[in-house]
Amino acid sequence: MTEKIKILMIDDHPMIIEGYQNTLLFTKKESQELLIDIANNCDEAIKAMDKSVEVNIPYDILFVDISLPPSTDGSMSSGEDLAEYARKILPNAKIIILTMFNESFRIHNIIKTIDPEGFLIKSDLTSSELASAFQAVLNNPPFYSGTVNSHIRKTITSDLVIDDKNRKILHLLSQGVKTKNLAAHLGISLSAIEKRKKQLREIFEVGDGQDETLLSEARKKGFV
């Protein structure tokens, strides 16, 4: 008996999507029939998802790139927003996240907000891993690529507890944002940020007060 699998691939690079398609079509099981739709931006992805719900033929799997052109109305700015939207209107669909980002903060945030059935870092990706991820997500999710698993292991094995706000402070500092500008990103006062930075220096046992030293220790523990 043929198993029809309806797939939406969301990526703004047509050649990448073509590669994904060719890999899945070449490696699928004989009993599987893949019905693949394509979206190159947030607007196309929203339209495809809404239509699948409207005609009552929902997607089984979504491949979602994180870096995408935003929607024209500004409501969606990335693949993360699309994945969260998909969770609401396609509750039974399995989501595979694909991204070039490999920072601990982004990985942690995506796992916490989306909890994807598949999570692949593009720099890890091979045809065989994509094929393995696809079958694993269908039958026994989740499937995480090597870089994702490495970050998870580092965070789990560390006995340090860093809340989301402090993770974001570390992430922004690692992106070169100055302390005086953090308040605009975090919605808290500068004095609250200074207190949190002091707490982070104590957690990571940093005595010199330098941001680079703090970030260096945070990287060793897998938090940046």
Q: What integer pLDDT is reported at residue 52 of this predicted model? A: 97
To the question of pTM greater than 0.85 for the whole model, the response is: no
Q: Determine phi and psi for 134, rounding to 5 degrees.
A: -60, -50
Give residue-wise pLDDT tens across range 35-79. Answer: 999 999 999 999 999 999 999 999 999 999 998 888 999 888 889
Cα 107 to Cα 3, 114, 140, 167, 177: the distances in Å are 32, 10, 21, 11, 20
User: What's the pLDDT at 101?
Assistant: 78
Asked whether the predicted pLDDT for residue 131 surpasses 70, the reply is yes
Complete DSSP assignment for 121-181:
EGGG--HHHHHHHHHHHHHS--EE-HHHHHHHHHHHH------HHHHHHHHHHHTT--HHH
The token pair at 135 is: 């079958």
In this structure, are residues 41 and 53 in contact, taking their beta carbons and an 8 Å threshold? no
Q: Given this model, what pLDDT does residue 58 score?
A: 97
Top-confidence range, 1-5, 50-54, 203-207: 50-54
Q: What is the pLDDT of residue 20?
A: 95
d(CA 136, CA 113): 21
Give long-range contacts, CB 8 A cutoff, 24+ apart: 12-20. 12/40, 12/41, 12/65, 12/67, 12/68, 12/69, 13/65, 14/40, 16/65, 19/127, 20/63, 20/130
Can you name the residues that pair with 99 across neighbouring β-strands?
Answer: 121
Q: Give the pLDDT score at 158.
A: 61
